[in-house]
Structure 1
Amino acid sequence: MKLALVSIHIDHSLRAIPLGTAMLAAAVEKDLGEQVNTTLIDCTLQQSVTDCAKEILRHQPDIVGLSITVWNRELALDIAHHLKSANPNLILLAGGPEATANPLSLEEIVDLDFVLTGEGEQKVITFLGNLLQGQAPKPSELMAVESIPDLGDLPSPYLTGMLRPTPGGGVLWELSRGCPYRCDFCFESRGSAIVRRFPLQRARAELQLFASLGVREVFVLDPTFNYHKQTAKELLGIMAKEGQGLHYSLEIRAELLDHELAELFASIDCSLQIGLQSADAKVLRMINRDFDREEFTDKVHLLHLAGVSYGFDLIYGLPGDSLAGFLASLDFALGLIPNHLDIFPLAVLPGTRLADTATGLGLEYQQHAPYKVRSSNTFTSAEITQAARIGAACDFFYNRGRAVPWFAMVLDGLDLVPSEFFSRLASVLPEIPPDDPLPLQQSFVADQFKQRQQPEVAALASDLIAYFGAVEPLLRDPVFKAPSGLKAGELYLNPDSVFVTFNYDPEQLLQHLADGITDLEELTFFAEPVNSEYCCYLYQDELQLYPLTREQGDFLKSLDSHTPAEPPSAKFVAKVLEAGMLIQAR
């Protein structure tokens, strides 16, 4: 028997790992490996229905399992229809988050033969066993809400070779299942409240494998990594010891932090995501969440002091919330200096308690995926649209633009709170923003200061944005790789370099910042105006800032062309060779 398990990803990203289907495949291989030949197939939303179906049919499966989510539902059902049209005898099985959350809507789809809900490893074994014995599978067994009590019984798709991580790639890492919290908007609230864990020895072995293969990113799937503090501390110790060179993304609860945990997070390369959702305790109580503003602030401060990267989630459109309330939450969140702030509309997911109570709460929302809220008694449709635009402005300017190092200084100089700043930006930001945030960041901030009759501050702010947006990333993401096709003796520009025009002496500016001067207007009195182009480059792990004349800059930039310009002088070439700005090919 041939089984094809299909995952449909948003795109080809580091997170596009078919862990769910691979867990099923590993379980099938363990119990029915001699009777069932399982193939994992990956598709993306960018592919056509025809291409996806063609790839699936190429393997000539007897059974196809489709992992269906909110974002891939439409494509998955179109693929199912195409498969059935091509081969009416093909058995189609639907599973995944959408099947679990909204099984009745999938049961109505004539192209789907069976719907599997919840944790599927044991159910799919029973399902296939029935087929192998010539028995009709029982739909009631596939849709029973059951949890696997001992996760140690499940084979690891990584350790069995079902999934082979790639060097420089990413992995999804599942350490536990179940969630003790009962948030109304989350489907986890209808799942197991008992947190079940995979054995620590399995986690250690998987981590050793990831490190040995040169994996770059580890995305931990646990909804609350630090729910059990002692286990979290043990795991962090294992990560620090066995997973050097890996970057971890984890979701945590701020209220469960303590000083020791913060220091342990600081011992690994990680980014933490914290589900704030709203800074209004009354709003959060309406979705069965607790919030203590002072405690939250104190706990996040532990991460800040430890130097741990953290971000928050905010949701607009929550029951009882308003545009003003959302903006107040935005100000609170950015006041805690997160590395990033992810802003989402409320989604009223089928199968959640919120879906059961939505009408009584006055929520109007899409009845089909992605189930976004349209309006509520306290949040009009126009205000939802405005919140979405402000959220997009924040994502573009603050997240993608990596504005953390200088954003507070700009706000102080403009005497604005974040929500006022992003409301202004939202009114001028194109619906499809440019790929590179830096030029728009510089021009928008400069315009704000010029409107206040502060052109010198506008110029200095532009320098700060240029430094942290274009120069500082050289330290974060070095290239180190020489261009190809060079002849011995040929000169080339240091690949870890960038040209930036500064209005003020950047080295003086950085020194004054290090001395604690953060008032932009005050900095204009201390920093020397230069209006000069600099070559900023990485040499021997140190960032170098080298001022250039126009002739020198033109020569250096011409080295990337087929007809490089004449050097200003032999002395200049010798000097920049010694300084590591220029390199001679060997």
Structure 2
Amino acid sequence: MTSEVVLTTLNSRYIHSSFSLRYLYANLGELQQRTSIKEFTIHDRAIDVAEKLLKLKPKIIGFSVYIWNVEETTAVIKLLKTIRPAVMVVLGGPEVSHIPDQPDVVADADYVIKGPGESSFKALCEQLLNHQAPAQRVINGVPQALEELVMPYQYYDEEDIRNRIIYVEASRGCPFKCEFCLSSLDKTSKTFTLDRFLVEMDRLYQKGARNFKFIDRTFNLKIAHSTTILQFFLDRMDTSNSDGLMVHFEVIPDRLPNALKALLVQFPANALQFEVGVQTFDPEVQSLISRRQDNQQTKANLKWLRTETQAHIHADLIFGLPGDTLTGFAESFDQLYQLGPQEIQLGILKRLRGAPINRHTQDHHMKYSPAPPYTVLQTKDISFEELQRVGRFARYWDIFGNQGRFKNTLSLLMGEQPFARFMLFSDSLFEQEQSTWKIALRRQFKLIYKMATQLFQIDQHSLLRALQKDYELNGEKGQLKKLLALETTTKKPQKNLRQTRHTLQQ
């Protein structure tokens, strides 16, 4: 099999599917017959990716480039240009769309499409295949009305539906101006016609799709639109073949009117997942980065979701924003933890190319890593060492907090000072393990027992009882006491905890 045009990208994992490639393919018209989609992951060897691409004997290869795959994509393109320099390489995606702030890979490409590419990529391919090369290397993408676009959902195949996340969108754009986000560059949010969109969702459902991940930045912006979509999926929850149906939405945290609440309470467990971007509860930081958020309403909504619905809440916080401090971030974490979301995703600020937050770089002494994903290394108010500590905190939190393996033990560990205590746990754990990854499950139980008894005044019997419950919930057999071998520990709680509190207050 050969293809004159190949659309490709390197996904972060196999379970992910490229929505952008399918959109480009859907809008190629007659060129579809001369085009194929080839997806890889960032874990594939560059030489293997290059070989598989060249096996198709392409004239044009279009790459979708993001912050998480730019390094691996660069390696592939360098190989392609070394082996087959005549192959035209076209780049698109957020990582290459902001002039003059562009990565090195742009120098190795023939063309870059800046911004929306559904019509622009087709036009470029037609020119190149007809030996009519454009004079400009950088092409401004032409935005189209949503109704003019051909939807891509028919191009999710059986393998995608069976083994991958199905990405969908009911709207594009965002009216908010949060400076850390590229969506702040949008002028507004526009919605697809609901009847047309839901016909496509029903086709996917009939083909067996059960995991729908909406990529809309503001799903609950237009309530009438949101309630119609929720009702569509709720209707299918009642059918005999709806097992495993789950929908994921990104929602505005302080916007949850009664019309939405009336539907949300009807969804069964494991059917609804909300990604809630809290980011910070600090009003001064919010103002500095142009983020509009009613903190009290956000807290009330999160509390309501946890007590009145069975939705799974994934809440986000960002450390390293301009004006942020370790103490301020700790306060945001403590407030969010008390609201009880099932997951708290702790992110370190990344410098997205083109994002308005870059205007603060000089005034707030923002120092970013020169390598993707361009994580902030220090700021005027946060030291490099503090950022490293919170980075380890975040990775340990994923293991011991977000995975849900220690539902009974975690509250004992966190006590009444969640951030300070987990920071002490994190610092001590790293001092012993010198690693924040590849910790086997049984070793996790040993470590949490050892650290909790050494660092905090936790009743040993209560701790063992909670750990035993979690041990069994994780499918482990037998008595945890035998695994722990009842290690003798020395308690050194309050001195270290006071030191941690002092560090946060500095």
Match of 2:419 in 1: 419
Q: What is the DSSP-based 3-state SS (H/G/I as helix, E as strand, rest coil) of the residue aligned with 2:14?
A: coil
Q: Which residue of 2 aligns with 1:396?
A: 399
Partner residue, 2:181: 186
Q: 2:395–2:436: 8 Å Cα contact kept in structure 1? A: no
| Mapped pair 1:156 → 2:161 | no
- Displacement after TM superposition at 1:161 (Å): 6.2
CA contact (8 A) 2:280 2:329 kept: yes
Alignment of 1:339-488 (within 5 A): 339-404=342-407, 407-408=410-411, 410-411=412-413, 415-426=415-426, 427-429=428-430, 430=433, 431-437=435-441, 439-441=443-445, 443-445=447-449, 448-449=452-453, 452=457, 454-467=459-472, 469-470=473-474
The answer to whether the 8 A contact 1:253-1:274 is kept is yes
Q: What letter corresponds to residue 386 of structure 1 in structure 2?
A: R
| Matched residue SS, 1:223 | coil
C-alpha separation in 2, matches of 1:415 and 1:398: 14
Q: Measured at CA, do residues 163 and 26 of structure 1 come closer, stay the same or move farther in structure 2, by a change above 3 Å?
A: farther
Shift of 1:281: 1.1
For the residue of structure 2 that corresponds to 1:52, the secondary structure is helix
Deviation at 1:21, TM superposition (A): 0.8
The equivalent position to 1:98 in structure 2, one of 90, 95, 99, is 95
Query: Aligned to 1:8, what secondary structure does the other structure show?
Result: strand
Shift of 1:159: 2.5
1:197 is matched by which residue type in structure 2? T
The match for 2:479 is 501
1:184 is paired with a residue whose SS is coil
State the match for 1:235 in structure 2: 229
Q: Note if contact 2:368-2:374 (Cα within 8 Å) is conserved in structure 1.
A: yes
Query: Is 2:14–2:164's contact at 8 Å kept on the other side of the alignment?
Result: no
What amino acid is the match of 1:416?
E
What is the CA-CA distance between 1:168 and the residue it aligns to? 5.0
The C-alpha deviation readout for 1:311-368, integer Å capped at 9, x for no partner, is 2111111111111111111111111100101111101212111113311222111234
Post-superposition CA distance 1:55-81 (Å, at most 9, x none): 100100010001111111111112111
Aligned to 1:303: 305
CA contact (8 A) 1:101 1:187 kept: no
1:51 aligns with 2:54: no
2:197 is matched with which residue? 203
Kindly indicate whether the alpha-carbon contact (under 8 Å) linking 1:115 and 1:139 is maintained by their aligned counterparts in 2: no
Distance (Å, rounded) in 1 between the aligned partners of 2:442 and 2:37: 41
In structure 1, what residue type is equivalent to 2:122?
A: I
> What's the secondary structure of 1:83's corresponding residue?
helix
Structure-2 residue corresponding to 1:176? 171
State the shift of 1:285 in Å. 1.2
Which structure has the bigger radius of gyration?
Answer: 1
Identify the residue that residue 339 of structure 2 maps to in structure 1.
336
Cα shift readout 1:181-205 (whole Å, capped 9, x = no counterpart): 1111111112x32212222233323
Alignment of 1:238-277 (within 5 A): 238-242=232-236, 244-245=242-243, 246-268=245-267, 269-277=271-279
Deviates more, 1:357-366 or 1:94-103: 94-103
Q: Name 2:489's counterpart in structure 1.
A: none
Q: Does 1:18 align with 2:18?
A: yes
* 1: CA distance, partners of 2:406 / 2:209: 28
Alignment partners' CA distance in 2, 1:463 and 1:381: 38
Query: Matches of 1:218 and 1:453 in 2, distance apart?
Result: 42
Shift of 1:107: 7.9
Residue 365 and residue 443 in structure 1: after superposition, are their counterparts in 2 closer, same or farther (change >3 A)? closer
How many Å separate the matches in 2 of 1:453 and 1:297? 29
Q: Secondary structure at the match of 1:155?
A: coil
Tell me by how many angstroms 1:108 deviates. 7.4
Relative distance call for 1:165 and 1:242 in structure 2 (3 A) is farther
Q: Which residue identity does 2:479 align to in structure 1?
A: T
Contact map agreement 1:248 1:270 (CA 8 A) in 2: yes
Work out whether residues 204 and 242 of structure 1, in 8 Å CA contact, stay in contact via their aligned partners in 2.
Answer: no
C-alpha contact (below 8 Å) 1:45/1:75 kept by paired residues: yes
Superposition RMSD in Å = 2.5
| Distance of aligned partners of 1:453 and 1:322 in 2 relative to their CA distance in 1, 3 Å threshold | closer
TM-superposed deviation, 1:109 = 3.8
Q: Judging changes above 3 Å, is the alpha-carbon distance between structure 1 residues 109 and 96 closer, same or farther for their aligned structure 2 residues?
A: closer
2:223/2:259 contact within 8 Å kept: no
In structure 2, the CA distance between the partners of 1:44 and 1:107, relative to structure 1 (3 Å rule), is: closer
Structure 2 gap ranges (5+): 482-506
TM-score (norm 2): 0.85
Of 8, 11, 19, the match for 1:6: 8
Paired position in structure 2 for 1:312: 315
Q: What SS does structure 1 have at the residue aligned with 2:305?
A: helix
Corresponding position of 1:61: 58
2:85 to 83, 88, 93: 88
Q: Distance in 2 between matches of 1:104 and 1:265?
A: 42
Q: Distance in 2 between matches of 1:37 and 1:345?
A: 42
In the alignment, the residues of structure 2 paired with residue 25 and residue 377 of structure 1 have an alpha-carbon distance, to the nearest angstrom, of 46
Q: Is the contact made by 2:367 and 2:379 (CA closer than 8 Å) also made in structure 1?
A: yes
Instruction: State the Cα distance separating 1:157 from its structure 2 match.
Output: 2.1
Supply the distance in 1 between the matched residues of 2:70 and 2:299 (Cα, whole angstroms): 39
Secondary structure at 1:386 match in 2? helix
Q: Which residue of 1 aligns with 2:118?
A: 121
Once the two structures are superposed, residues 132-159 of structure 1 have per-residue CA deviations (whole angstroms, 9 ceiling, x without a partner) of: 4432225377225x432x2122222223
Moved more, 208-217 or 116-125: 208-217
State whether structure 2 residue 143 is matched by structure 1 residue 147.
yes
SS at match of 2:36: strand
**Partners in 2 of 1:161 and 1:295 — Cα distance?**
39
Give the distance between the partners of 1:221 and 1:438, measured in 2 at CA.
36
Residues 208 and 242 in structure 1, CA contact (< 8 A), matched pair in contact too? no
Which residue number corresponds to residue 322 of structure 1? 325
For 1:281, the equivalent position in structure 2 comes to 283
Q: Distance in 2 between matches of 1:404 and 1:273?
A: 20
For residue 393 of structure 1, report the CA deviation from its aligned partner: 1.9
Provide Cα deviations, 1:28-66, integer angstroms capped at 9, x if missing partner: 1x2534xx5111011111111110000100100010001
The answer (yes or no) to whether the contact 1:166–1:214 under 8 Å persists in 2 is yes
Q: 1:115 to 1:225 in 2, by over 3 A?
A: same
Deviation string 1:484-520 (CA, Å, 9 cap, x unpaired) is xxxxxxxxxxxxxx524378xxxxxxxxxxxxxxxxx
Aligned equivalents of 2:351 and 2:280: distance in 1?
A: 16
What is the alpha-carbon distance in structure 2 between the residues aligned to residue 421 and residue 276 of structure 1? 22
Which amino acid is the alignment partner of residue 81 of structure 1?
Answer: K
Unaligned runs of at least 5 residues, structure 1: 472-497, 504-586
Secondary structure of residue in 1 paired with 2:178: coil
Letter of the 2:276 counterpart:
I
Code of the residue aligned with 1:217 in structure 2: it is N
Aligned length: 465
